[in-house]
Amino acid sequence: MSETSGVSSVKPAAEHILVARGLHKTYSLDVSRLDVLKGIELQVTRSESVALVGASGAGKSTLMHVLGGLDRPTAGGVWLDGESMYELPSRQLTRLRNWKIGFIFQAYQLLPDLEAVENVALGGWVARRPAAEVRREAEELLALVGLAERMHHRPVELSGGEQQRVAIARALINDPVLLFADEPTGNLDSATGAGVMELLLRLQRERGMTLILVTHEVGIAQRCQRVLEIRDGVLSGVLKTQQEQTDR
């Protein structure tokens, strides 16, 4: 099935930084198939924070990977800043993802042989930005997340909370407009997780980024402006709206 099968080709409104229409994702398993996403429709406003909640296996991470350009949908489309991501050639999609999207993963995904500052700088070097400029920005970001004294330590020498802060700094190195966080507090104790979440939301507000947070923890999700529930591959309900946030 093509990306635009059953999907309107009308360009999304400018106030929506991310739009998904008719998203399906199916995996073939030998003689069977697994339908993970089943017609997702989503619009996300610029600078908004949105949490996706749901049980394990509901399709949260798969949706994040498709929205972030990491995994091509079986059908449907995704638009970032008005650009149809999956109509781009592979090289252009990679460039778009590198420059405009930041990712924070539950398992940190830091390279073990690199120092913290090198892990943060890596995305800027991949983008072929000037090496000295990227190094300086990586040092500034590590200071911003409270790790100025730890920038020359390797991941094994850092606590879980410190590794997650390195991962946050790494996600910001190219000043993305959209930030995805997949269970960013999942491997942390409650106190450390709360601190990481506070840092993440503060940086998101200060930099005017759009945040999409994937979590199974409702308490963490409620820190975002809007909370959506995904169940069996479908966005099944709105648990919180921006208006509710304003009224509090």
Length of the chain: 248
- What distance in Å separates the CA atoms of residue 106 and residue 211, rounded to the nearest whole number? 15
- What distance in Å separates the CA atoms of residue 136 and residue 193, rounded to the nearest whole number? 28
Beta strands 83-84 and 75-80, pairing class: antiparallel
pLDDT at 223: 93
pLDDT at 243: 55
Which fold does the domain 48-59+94-247 belong to in CATH? Rossmann fold (3.40.50)
pLDDT at 13: 64
Q: What is the pTM of this model?
A: 0.88
Two structure tokens written together for 39:
């017609």
pLDDT digits (tens, 9 = 90+) for 33-77: 899 999 999 999 999 999 999 888 889 999 999 999 999 999 999
pLDDT at 244: 57
Q: 157, 201, 162: which is closest to 179 by C-alpha?
A: 201
State which residues of the chain have pLDDT below 70.
1-14, 242-248
pLDDT at 186: 86
pLDDT at 205: 94
- What distance in Å separates the CA atoms of residue 240 and residue 117, rounded to the nearest whole number? 37
pLDDT at 2: 41
- What distance in Å separates the CA atoms of residue 32 and residue 26, rounded to the nearest whole number? 10
Angle among Cα 108, 88, 83 to the nearest 5 degrees reads: 85
pLDDT digits (tens, 9 = 90+) for 159-171: 999 999 999 999 9
